[in-house]
Every structure is written in structure tokens, then in C-alpha cells.
Structure 1
């Protein structure tokens, strides 16, 4: 019989789900508005916004100090991301849909950048938000499956949470009915300029449009790399 206890459990689960959904919307919207992190730097945009199709620029914001661990065991720090435009994507290797689809789309863009000089070639950084299951090595192997030049890293808590918060992104561990867990995370991609500052976002489109447009991403980052290296 569906008693009051069962009803309470359903209501709690529903509220938790709605809270997580609302949280993702809030943090993704915050990322788009660049309303988090250190104060923005007042300067002329790298490229006029009307020339870009996918990237939404905002005033550059320096990232807080961070240390992630790359797939080869070496540390990844802010200085390592300077010199080239970078797209940062949070995900995890057990992700059933969003992560592989996003990395596949980004790989299409990466292949179009191969003709650019290495010194200014845009790069992709995949950061696993599931360090419990994703070792740095496993994270690197997963990212390299889509494109060999993709940077990959992760970090233990609380360093990982602090890194994500500095980007204006969110993730959360969610229990499944099978007794396992999954990771819910922002789908927004963050764009860093060659100074390693958070300077733009790429937000997935709503259905029925494909979530990402690899052609537009490739064109936007190539434009930024060549005109604002």
C-alpha cells in the first residue's frame, strides 16, 4: 500500500531532483553571465562578439590558483594553460551520453585546428569530476580516445571542487536505483584566453538543435587564436 512514509520518500526524492536541476541551471547561467570568481578586467574584447557564432565572450576573470594532476602524473597549474586558447570541459569516464558526445564534437573542432601553428593552436582540457573512479591515467586514456592532443586531469577533493567553482561550474554525486552512483555536472564549456583567464563560455543549444556546433566552435577558436594570440 502507498502509505504516508512512501509518499514522504517520493516527495523528498522529487525535491532533491528539482534542486539539482535548478542548481545546474543556476550555475550554468552564472557561467554565461561571468558572475563568479575574481573581479573582471576592464579591457577591449579579444574579438567583436558579432563575429563569433558559438563562443560568448565576457570580461576576462583571473582564475584562483589550482593544482590538478595530469594523466602522466605531472601537476597542471594555471601557468601550464597560458599561451594558447583553451576550452575546459568537466565530465567523467562513466558518463553515458553528454561526455562522449561533447568530446566527440570537440574532437571534430580539434581536427580542424591541426593546420594552425602549434604555438597558437587552441587546446581542450577534460577534467574528470569523479576522482573516486577516474584516476589521472584512466582520465587521460578516455580523453585520448577522442583526440590524442586533449589534455586530461583530475584532482582529489576539495581541490577539484574549488577548481570547478572558480570556473563557475557545478557537479554533484547522485545515487542510482541500482545502488551505484553517477555524476551530475554542468554542460557549459569554459573558454580561457592565452593569459589563462576565464573569458568566455560555450553553452549547449536546446533541442531540436544539436547541443554543440563543432564547425562554429572550430571557426570561433581559430579566429580567436589568430587574431588574439
Structure 2
């Protein structure tokens, strides 16, 4: 028997999936991609411009669309109390990040961890959490409406799951997409990376894409 939270996340996932399917049908009618061939990154062409958003970064500054320009960025939704998917994904991404450290910092690909649990995850906490995996990982969060809008624009979903019966009210979990969104150097939604993740393949793809988009 599904509980209410499970039904909500399934409905949200279905809605996002339908939106993604429609976007893929649209992209399929467009000219062939201009980017190099990739193995882990599934690219869209043309890319999709994101609506305005504003997230709070770990250092207290605002993360707005203009801040993401100039780099390829991989966006992952999660939360610091996540028992498995989040630490595994950030560990895998840290392996990829170490492989592209030789790329100049001005154009180096970035990983953005967005916490979808603002009730427990303060900017300081998400910064400490993300940097424990790799010093270059960006971390941000926002209030729930802003996070929902941001996730929806990336065809990603999340929903709070109630704690188990008898557990403290703050011992809840958050269901969220495990897929990563890929943003191009103009900050546009340009593709997806779906699990299981291959750090070496992701690093190779991001190095090729960075070289292809370099001025």
C-alpha cells in the first residue's frame, strides 16, 4: 500500500517525466547536436533557457542564473541526512572532479549540490557537507517554493517523506531524483546524466565539452 508521500512523489515524477518526454520530442525535431559525441552525458539540442531563480549559497551569497555562466555545471539534488544516494553520488563526483583538476579554473566544470531539505540544512551545514567530498563543490539551498520551481525547471523532483511510526518528527527523509542535470556555459539546461554514474566517463565527457566550448 502506498502512503501519501509515495503517491505524491510518484505523481510528481510522472509529471516531470511527461515534461521531459515532451521536451525530448521537441529536441528530436531540432537540428543535430553541435556538441561532440558523449557517452555518459545525454545532451539536448537546442538547450533550454531556465527561468529566473535565486538560491542561497554556502557562503551566504545568492546564486542566480548569471553565476552559472562560463562553466559546464552538473546539478544534483539531495540533503545532508541522506543515508546512501547522496554520499555515494558526491563521492563518485569527487572522483570525476579530481580527474578534471588540470583544466584552468576559469573554465573548469563544476558540481552544484542543492539541498532540498532547508528545514535542517543551513547554508553553513551544506557547505561543510559538500566540501568534505571535494573543495570545489558548490552548495546551495532555498525555501521550498523556490526549490520546487528550480527542480521543475530541470525536470527533477523531490518530496518530503514522513518519519516512520514512533520516530521523532525531525527524523524524516526526502525522496528526490537521482539524475543530475547538465547546464552549459550559458547556464542553460543542456542534458542529463542518469545513474549508475561512471566517474571516468563523466570526467572525459566534461573535459571534451569544456574544450569544445572554450573561447
Matches within 5 A, 1:37-52: 45-48=33-36, 51-52=37-38
Structure with higher Rg: it is 1
Tell me the alpha carbon deviations over residues 99-153 of structure 1, each in whole angstroms, 9 at most, x when there is no partner. 0000000000000010111122100000000000000110111000000000000
Look up the match of 2:71: 84
Give, in whole Å, the separation in 1 of the partners of 2:74 and 2:139: 12
Unpaired runs of 5+ in structure 2?
A: none
Give, in whole Å, the separation in 1 of the partners of 2:69 and 2:75: 13
How far apart are residue 31 of structure 1 and its match? 7.2
Look up the match of 1:162: 149
* SS across alignment from 2:66: helix
State the TM-score, normalized to the length of structure 1: 0.83
Matches within 5 A, 1:35-114: 35=23, 45-48=33-36, 51-59=37-45, 60-114=47-101
Give, in whole Å, the separation in 2 of the partners of 1:153 and 1:200: 21
State the TM-score, normalized to the length of structure 2: 0.88
Tell me the alpha carbon deviations over residues 67-116 of structure 1, each in whole angstroms, 9 at most, x when there is no partner. 10111101000000000100000000000000000000000000001011
**Closer/same/farther in 2, CA of residues 146 and 57 from structure 1, 3 Å limit:** same
Unpaired runs of 5+ in structure 1?
A: 1-10, 205-210
Look up the match of 1:188: 179
* SS across alignment from 1:65: coil
Tell me the alpha carbon deviations over residues 140-198 of structure 1, each in whole angstroms, 9 at most, x when there is no partner. 11000000000000001311111111111110000121243110000110000000000
Q: Do structure 1's residue 218 and structure 2's residue 209 form an aligned pair?
A: no
Kept in 1, the 8 Å contact 2:126–2:140? The answer is yes
**Closer/same/farther in 2, CA of residues 84 and 43 from structure 1, 3 Å limit:** farther
Give, in whole Å, the separation in 2 of the partners of 1:26 and 1:188: 14
Give, in whole Å, the separation in 2 of the partners of 1:164 and 1:182: 17
Kept in 1, the 8 Å contact 2:9–2:158? The answer is no
Q: Post-superposition, which runs of at least 4 consecutive aligned residues in structure 1 deviate over 6 A?
A: none
